[in-house]
Amino acid sequence: MQLGNMTFAPGAVLAPMAGFTDAACRRLAANHGALYTISEMVSAKALTFGDKKSAQLIYNENNPAPYGVQLFGAEPETMGQATALIQKYKFDFIDINMGCPAPKINSSGAGSKLMLDPKNCGDIVAAVVKESQGKPVTVKMRAGWDADHITAVEVAKACEAAGAALVAVHGRTREQMYQPGTVDWKIIEAVKKAVKIPVLGNGDIESAADAVAMVNATGCDGVMVGRAALGDPWIFAEIKAALNGEPAPEKPTLRQRLEALRTQVYEMCEEKGEWVAMPQARSQALYYMKGLKGAAGLRRACCQLSHYEDLDELFQKVYDAGNR
C-alpha cells in the first residue's frame, strides 16, 4: 500500500478515537506494529481561532510510525486555513474526518453529515490539498448518512478527484452509529472498485481473523482498527502476521498486559500532568481488564484511579481475583 512516498506492507492502522488516541496511546500502538496512527480529531475552526487545547491534540513525540493529524470541519476555506496553520508541527499526512456520528459534530455540518454533500467533500479535500505542502491527504468516511443516503462511492470518487491519497471506509451509516453486526462489507468493496487510490476497511475488526476475512471479501488494501486495539495493542502484530501469511505471535502474558498499561499511564502523566491524565486513564484501564476474573470489582477499581500510584492497588486486585 502506498501513501505519498510511504510504502506499507499489509497490516492495520489505529483508528482515531476522541478521548482515547492521545500521544501515549498512539505510541503504544505504533510500538506494537500499527502501520500508522492518527491524532484525535482537531477542530479546524478552533485552530483558526487560536485555541490552545486544539493545538495540544497534535502533540506527538517518539512515535516510530508515520503520523497524521485529523481535522474536522464543514467549510473548505476554514479547512484550508487550518491546514496552513498546522504546518509548523511535525506530522506525515493530513486526515479529514467525514465519519464522526456525534450530534455535536454533525450539527455544525461536519463529520458524517458531510456524507450528504459529496461536492462539498471534494471541495474540502481540494482546499486541504492546496495547503498541505505536498503531504498526503487521506479521508475517513462512513457508508453514508442513513439507509436512504448511501453515498460512500460518490464521496470517495469526489475525494479522489480532488487529490485524496487514501480513503478509509467505516461500513456503517451515521444512523447505525456503532451497532454491532451492522458493518456492510459490500459498501467497502464497492468503494475499492470505484477508485484507484488505496482503501482501508473499518468496523467490527476484533481479531486477526476478522481482518483477513474483510480483506478477502472486499479487496481492501488494509484495515483500520479502533476499540479492539484499546487494552490490546498486540492485535496489530497479529493482523500483520495473518495478512502476510506468517505464524501468529505469542499472546501477551498478564504481566505484559499490566506493564503496557503502566507504561501508557506513566507517559500520559508525563505529557499532560497527573491531574489531567488520571481521569482519562480510567477509561483506558477498563479495556485492559476485559476478560479477567473479578471483572466487576476491577471495573470499580479502575473508576477510582486518581493518582499514578493507584495502579499498584489495581494490579494487586487483579492478582487477588485469581488472575495469573
Q: What is the pLDDT of residue 243?
A: 96
Q: What is the pLDDT of residue 55?
A: 86
The predicted-structure confidence for 289-320, as pLDDT tens digits, reads as follows: 999 999 999 999 999 999 999 999 999 999 99
**Residues 6+ away with beta carbon under 8 Å from 150:** 143, 144, 173, 187
Q: CA-CA distance, 251 to 72, in Å (whole number)? A: 37
Low-confidence winner among 49-63, 113-127, 279-293 (lowest mean pLDDT): 49-63
Low-confidence winner among 57-66, 125-134, 280-289 (lowest mean pLDDT): 57-66
The predicted-structure confidence for 201-229, as pLDDT tens digits, reads as follows: 999 999 999 999 999 999 999 999 999 99
Q: Which residues are annotated as a binding site?
A: 16-18, 70, 140, 170, 226-227
The predicted-structure confidence for 51-109, as pLDDT tens digits, reads as follows: 988 988 998 988 999 999 999 999 999 999 999 999 999 999 999 999 999 999 999 99
CATH number of 254-320: 1.10.1200
Residue 244 reports pLDDT greater than 90: yes
Residue 55, burial from CB neighbour count under 10 angstroms (0-12, 13-18, 19+): middle
Number of residues assigned to the chain: 324
Average pLDDT along the chain: 96
| CA distances for 104 relative to 111, 131, 226, angstroms | 10, 27, 21
User: Can you read off the three cell numbers belonging to residue 22?
Assistant: 492521545
Can you give the residue ranges of every domain in the chain?
2-243, 254-320
- The mean pLDDT value for 145-164 works out to 97
* Residue 220 is a catalytic residue: no
What are the phi and psi torsion angles at 60 (to 5°)?
A: -155, 105
Residue 286 reports pLDDT greater than 90: yes
Q: What is the pLDDT of residue 96?
A: 98
Q: What is the pLDDT of residue 32?
A: 97
Q: Which residues are annotated as a binding site for FMN?
A: 16-18, 70, 140, 170, 226-227
Report strand pairing: 67-72 vs 37-38.
parallel
324 pLDDT band, cuts 50/70/90, is very high
Q: What is the pLDDT of residue 163?
A: 98
Residue 1 reports pLDDT greater than 90: yes
Q: What is the pLDDT of residue 180?
A: 85
Active-site residue (options: 100, 121, 159, 269): 100
Q: CA-CA distance, 46 to 83, in Å (whole number)? A: 12
Helix, strand or coil, per DSSP, at residue 208 = helix
Report which residue type is found at 240: K
Helix, strand or coil, per DSSP, at residue 188 = helix
Which superfamily does CATH assign the domain made up of 2-243 to? Answer: Aldolase class I (3.20.20.70)
Whether 254-320 and 2-243 are alike in CATH topology: the answer is no
Percent residues over pLDDT 70 in the chain: 100
SS3 readout for 46-106: HHHCCCHHHHHCCCCCCCCCCEEEEEECCCHHHHHHHHHHHHHCCCCEEEEEECCCCHHHH
